[in-house]
Chains A and B, each alone.
Chain A
Amino acid sequence: DGGITQSPKYLFRKEGQNVTLSCEQNLNHDAMYWYRQDPGQGLRLIYYSQIVNDFQKGDIAEGYSVSREKKESFPLTVTSAQKNPTAFYLCATSPVGGLEFFGQGTRLTVV
């Protein structure tokens, strides 16, 4: 079954902790993206990667880190430096120059 899998669907984090959100795809897409969605803000780009072992900062990268060791995987770590991490996080993939496909998202809440 082809697609994008984000896990977990809901995630709770204590203040001061790092947490990693998973994004896996079997669409064989080269490009992968992480977006953050807040109420009234639309989607904003955190990081993106066009190729394995390479990634670029988006508009709101501070407090986040990523890795792209495999084509299929693009995990996002929300570090303790992120001041307001409570949000909905969406992963997307695309062939280079092609349409983006979105995962189902992860809702992160700081408790």
Chain B
Amino acid sequence: AQTVTQSQPEMSVQEAETVTLSCTYDTSESDYYLFWYKQPPSRQMILVIRQEAYKQQNATENRFSVNFQKAAKSFSLKISDSQLGDAAMYFCAYRSYFGSQGNLIFGKGTKLSVKP
């Protein structure tokens, strides 16, 4: 069974600085997706970024980028120029590539605080 581990329950960053959230996962599959979701106090789950395992290039979405290390089974999220609105819970998630088993497997989350 696949597992996702986020080893940092809480992180803090100064506004305008850069922060990296860690995620490791375990799987025997070779094709899969990885995601970072943001959950602000409203508790709405918002997709931040996703990575297909077959792609070597790291995904980037504006200030958000990932460092995907397939051999190490590591998938960290870097937030550049942190803003107050980035404060939230961040969840790393795994999904099998094969569509018949499409549910997400989540880590326990990292609570990010942004200091003004």
Contact = CB atoms under 8 A, between A and B. Distances in A.
Interface in B75-102: 91, 98-100, 102
Contacts of A42: 91, 106-109
B102 A96 contact: yes
A104 B104 contact: no
Interface residues of B, number: 19
Contacts of A94: 102
Contacts of A88: 43
B108 A99 contact: no
B16 interface: no
B4 to A, nearest CB: 8
- Interface residues of A toward B: which range? 20 to 34
A50 B99 CA distance: 10
A99 to B, nearest CB: 7
Which of A33, A44, A88, A100: most chain B Cβ within 10 A? A100
A40 interface: yes
A108 to B, nearest CB: 13
Given A88-B43, A90-B45, A102-B44, A43 B104 contact: yes
B103 A58 contact: yes
Interface of A: 31, 33, 40-45, 48, 50, 58, 88, 90, 92, 94, 96-100, 102, 104-105
